A and B are shown apart, each in its own frame.
Chain A
Amino acid sequence: MNEQSTAKEGKWKSFFCLLAHGKIAWGFVAIGYIISLASGAIALQFSNKMGDLVAGDFSMGTLYGFIWMTALYALFNGLSNIVMTIAQTKSVKNLRTVLWNKLMRLPSSHPMSSKSSEMLSTITVDATTSMTYVLMCLVGIPTAIYFVVLAAIQAASMSTRFLIPIFCLVPVYVVYGIIIGKLNQKTNVKVQTSIGMLTGFLSERLRNLDLIKAYNSQLTEEEAGTEAARKLYKQNCFLTTINTGIILYTLLFDSVCVIMAVLFGSSMIKAGTLRPQEWANFFILLPMVNNMLRSASGMWVNAKGALGFTARISALLEAPEEKTDGKAVDKIGNIALCNVSFSYGEKRVLDRISFTIPMGKRTAIVGYSGSGKSTLLNLIERFYTPDEGVITLAGENIAELELCDYRNKIAYVQQDTGMFSGTVREALLYGITDEKSDDELLDVLKKVSLYEDVQRLPAGLNSKVALWGASLSGGQRQKLVIAREMLKPSPIILLDEPTSALDLTAQSTVFDAILHYFDGRTIVTVTHDLRLIAEADQIVVIDNGMVVAHGIHTELLDRCELYKKLVEEKAFEEVYGE
């Protein structure tokens, strides 16, 4: 119970967090607010004039007043709609900008960082949904209350007994907001889950269609897909039925309103306490109050439904950013890891690791997959912070250094990060601040034997690379990424399996390029490539997150069983036997 209520509070807090940090276009909201209030007041006047007409007062004055009010009413309604649309869209844009800036600066250890699809939907869907409903609620509900109060005052001026039906309507819509709103929300969630399941099912199957065809299992998949679609159908039918219930409820109350007005009015007219004109006024007024209350409770329901989205956004807005400030990096030296431990959640990946990466030398890190090698590079790059222990550069704790400056000192070829779409030139210059001539670019392309490939493209360096670099082969992509890092003057080079997607010939070309081009800089390579290992000045063998041995190739062959296994002597001799 207690937990539930705190969860709820947290949600409403997120509402305010969005208001505070979401950069809402307050100017437009204020204008929209004023127009909405004015339109409420006009609506009331309009209902009066209409009442006069209905009661039979067709004098020119009433008629012109009526037409005038009608036009004003339509105009103000339209205006408030337009202004609120602008306010919402502007606010969504601002919120997206805030979120995007935040996302890029989140620490990699933040849970959101690993959930790419959530990040995406936060910017695209959540931002729109939460902002739209929050603003609607913010302006719509006070307007509705204002109108109801005005209407109540007017009704009271005719007869205090008219207040009774008005106040009878209020609990009706409070109930509506609470019960039906909740039911509707729950079913909506179920429908969304079913849609999600169907989407998941379909995209998995369509992505792996080769496999389905190869296994002749089209018919089985046909049935499974039908089943998933049927589940969604059932949820949708349920939702429809609930919506029908809501419509029934509102229509019934429309009629109840009219009947109430008739009953109240007729008895009072009979008793002579009410003029027919007043009665006609009230007869028009009551359904309008009913409508206002309904739309307000509808907004409330929507806003509550959007709280889930709002909560995600506010969690993100309040998340800490990567620590960027610190000392400038003024000297480069050995990188030392001292008792470094790191866990992803429960799973300990690195366990009290200590070793030194000497400046200007080549260090190779080897081990079975999953032994923590890539994590080690990510710690050095400061994507993550060690749970225990410190990493130092020339004696300075790297966590104390200015982040941008520090990362500029490192060129990092990550395992499967590719490039962004754009031209070859843009891909090469990504993250490079100083000017580079075409010759320089072509030069590095030659070094990784990509020159001919680029020359063959229709527009050379200015040729477009498709989304995800899909128009390039895996090997070409890897070469391009290495070329990009070659353009950086960084004194420290981190390479994570830099030749994994390359064929034999390309491997040795790129390998030569790496060794020669980066010669004299600090190189840290995670690799299975025997030649890269053999050329290392220091080899660190990692198993289960611990350093089991380090030394040079020939030494390790002698004293480290694991290394021996890893290196597969036989293959090595075959390559170098000639």
Chain B
Amino acid sequence: MKKKKTLSIQKYLSIFKGLRLPWLFLTLSVAGAILSYLFTLNLADLTADVVSATGDVKKTKLAGYVIAALMVVIGTTASYWFREIAAQKINLSLRIKLWKKLVHLPRNQYDKDGGEGFVSRITTDCTFSSTFFTMMVEFASLAVGVVIYYVELFSTNATISAASILLLPVTVLIAWGYGRLCYLLNLNNQERLSETTEYLIERVYNMPLLRAANMQEKESQAGVQRFATLYKVEIQKGLLASLNTFINGAVPVISMAIVFVVGAGFVNAGAMTAGGVYAFYLVANSAAVLFANIVEYAGSIRGSIGAMERVAETLEQAEEDVKSGEITPKNGKVTVEHVTFGYTGASILNDAEITIPENKLTVIVGSNGAGKSTLFRLLERFYVPKEGAICVNGKAAGEYSVESWRHRIGYMPQDGVLMAGTIRTNLSMGADHLYSDEEINVVVKQLALEPFFASLPDGFDSAVEAGGKNYSGGQRQLLGMMRVLLYDPEILLLDEVTSNLDAHSARQIKGALKEICQSRTVVMIAHDLQTILEADHALILRDGKAVYAGDPRQVLTEINDYRREVMGQ
């Protein structure tokens, strides 16, 4: 059982390593809590006096009560405020720490849960960790409170205290059991919850398919089934929460019953006044509330361990080292030497040997899954080959620093990819300043995009929504093209960058590329024949190998030969 999912204390503490924890706030929170516990005792005494005095309330007593009540209020609120602000401070520094880590993780770390899984790690999981931390602090002040109360209780009446302290082991046992239950349920539920969410996401994002296939009736039934599963999960959760409320309500009530029943004996025997019993009850009640809280905290702490484990794991991973190594030379010849690579199982590149001719437009042709995009990812050093090496001037890539390497070799993904901001911020990516109009205009001219920018209301400062949603696929590609040119690498890797452009714009871009190749090396993945024919050099990838390198005009023959070969079997 232990082996399964126990987060070791060291691993847990490693989350907070190097963080500046708000110790002052946390201490003040505990201090506030203790203040309120102490004055609650006073308050109980005074209340009892007030009750017993049967009408004869002295002004000094009342004043004492008011002051004590005020201190409890101040102590409680201050404790709350300091604790919550401390939690927010921890959240913030942990989020920053995690984000800094994520930005620097090597690419292959993202493949496991698709990158976006990390989002919830920062937004949600971080909160769990800090909640855990502040809860521990609160737990500590609770413990102090319980001790303070019981010292007082025992000094008042040892018999009743002994009776009511019996609750302690019971509560602890319940807390343990409850925590265990929470943990087990959460483990199962998370899975079923995400299944249902996945089902819904798929359908909701693909509604046209569902409608075109006339599947409303069947999907309705499937949906009902999913909701029923979800219902089971939620009802378990809900009942568990009710159980918690029940315990929360029952513990103080039971403690009260004990106090009054035992106290009644003393009153009847004349050993205690009714007011004394009431005062005792008030203190015992506060202690019981603390007990009940222990149950609740135990539950949430157990429930959040899984989340913290993920945070700790992420923080443990090694960062990508981008600085060390030689500066990549400016005019280097890039060769791919006997490279074999696969993401998980099967190899995608198989002993591939490729030479990229300088200052030429090279197209890479190949069927789906031949390894074209993977080759680009290796060339950009997002991944490291399993065997063989990518070399510049005969020296393996590992000798050069990643940063300088990526500055020499620019990369443009198929979509162009815009992020929220303005066109200018998007174009200035990777630069140390925002580009001026003059700097951008050079590229605008190069690609003949004047009409496009003339049509934008705010020119280069036009807003870009998240994911570049307010621009068409073609426009995103044009802007991506501008960005890679502004970044000014010597080698450009372009992944089907004209696929969303209309024929006219595509031709314009290709014309511009011709010129760019005078002084730069361009490598392009292409599917359309026209682009292939206009290139200087062509490579055909098949099954992870370069099967052809040479004149683009031969590509068609090559492909047709292959087709005949395959079909002819």
Contacts and interface: CB of A to CB of B under 8 A. Distances in A.
Interface stretch (A169-177, A302-310, A564-572): A564-572
Given A120-B204, A222-B99, A210 B411 contact: yes
B14 interface: no
Given A236-B91, A420-B202, A473-B369, A568 B503 contact: yes
B208 A244 contact: no
Nearest to A248: B77
B118 interface: yes
A241 interface: yes
B367 A120 contact: no
B115 to A, nearest CB: 4
Interface in A399-414: 404, 407-408, 410, 412, 414
A575 B528 CA distance: 11
A92 B234 contact: yes
Interface stretch (B1-9, B157-165, B246-254): B246-254
Instruction: Point out which of B210, B242, B320, B407 has the most chain A C-beta atoms below 10 A from its C-beta.
Output: B242
B103 A222 contact: yes
A120 B200 contact: yes
B102 A255 contact: no
B220 A100 contact: yes
A431 B215 contact: yes
Contact of B51 (A105, A280, A476, A575): A280
Contact of A97 (B77, B223, B430, B473): B223
B116 interface: yes
Given A70-B257, A104-B211, A78 B472 contact: no
A216 B77 contact: no
Interface in B54-92: 54-57, 62, 65-66, 69-70, 72-73, 76-77, 80-81, 84-85, 88-89, 91-92
A414 B208 contact: yes
B205 A116 contact: yes
A248 B73 contact: yes
A207 B417 CA distance: 10
Interface in B255-287: 256-257, 260-261, 263-264, 267-268, 273-275, 277-278
Contact of A574 (B202, B377, B380, B533): B533
B19 interface: no
Contact of A206 (B55, B110, B205, B503): B110
A104 B253 contact: no
A207 B215 contact: no
B81 A207 contact: no
Contacts of B413: 208, 210-211
B62 A259 contact: yes
A474 interface: yes
Nearest to B268: A58
A212 B204 contact: no
Contact of B84 (A215, A240, A417): A240
Contacts of B514: none
Contacts of B382: 210, 213
Interface stretch (A135-143, A194-202, A311-319, A345-353): A194-202
Interface residues of A, number: 135
Interface string A366-392: 001110000000100101000000000
B96 interface: yes
A89 B238 contact: yes
Contacts of B72: 251, 255
Given A66-B260, A370-B472, A226 B99 contact: yes
Given A206-B116, A229-B95, A505-B559, A418 B206 contact: yes
B393 interface: no
Interface residues of B, number: 136
Contacts of B166: none
A16 to B, nearest CB: 24
**Helix, strand, loop or mixed for chain B's interface?**
helix
Nearest to B220: A101
Interface in B363-396: 365-369, 377, 380, 382
A454 interface: no
Interface string B230-253: 110011001101100110011001
B28 to A, nearest CB: 13
B84 A243 contact: yes
Given A66-B260, A123-B204, A218-B104, 14 more contacts: A53-B278, A85-B238, A93-B228, A108-B208, A206-B115, A206-B119, A214-B410, A225-B96, A225-B100, A247-B77, A247-B80, A475-B368, A503-B366, A505-B562
Interface of B: 47, 50-51, 53-57, 62, 65-66, 69-70, 72-73, 76-77, 80-81, 84-85, 88-89, 91-92, 95-96, 99-100, 102-104, 107, 110, 115-116, 118-119, 122-123, 197-198, 200-216, 219-220, 223-224, 227-228, 230-231, 234-235, 238-239, 241-242, 245-246, 249-250, 253-254, 256-257, 260-261, 263-264, 267-268, 273-275, 277-278, 320, 322, 365-369, 377, 380, 382, 403, 406-407, 410-411, 413, 417, 419-420, 429-430, 466-467, 472-474, 487, 499-504, 527-530, 533, 556, 559-560, 562-563, 566
Interface of A: 53-56, 58, 63, 66-67, 70-71, 73-74, 77-78, 81-82, 85-86, 88-90, 92-93, 96-97, 100-101, 103-105, 108, 113, 116, 119-120, 123-124, 195, 198-218, 220-222, 225-226, 229-230, 232-233, 236-237, 240-241, 243-244, 247-248, 251-252, 255, 258-259, 262-263, 265-266, 268-270, 276, 279-280, 283, 322, 368-370, 378, 381, 383, 404, 407-408, 410, 412, 414, 417-421, 430-431, 467-468, 473-476, 500-506, 508, 528, 565-566, 568, 570-571, 574-575, 578
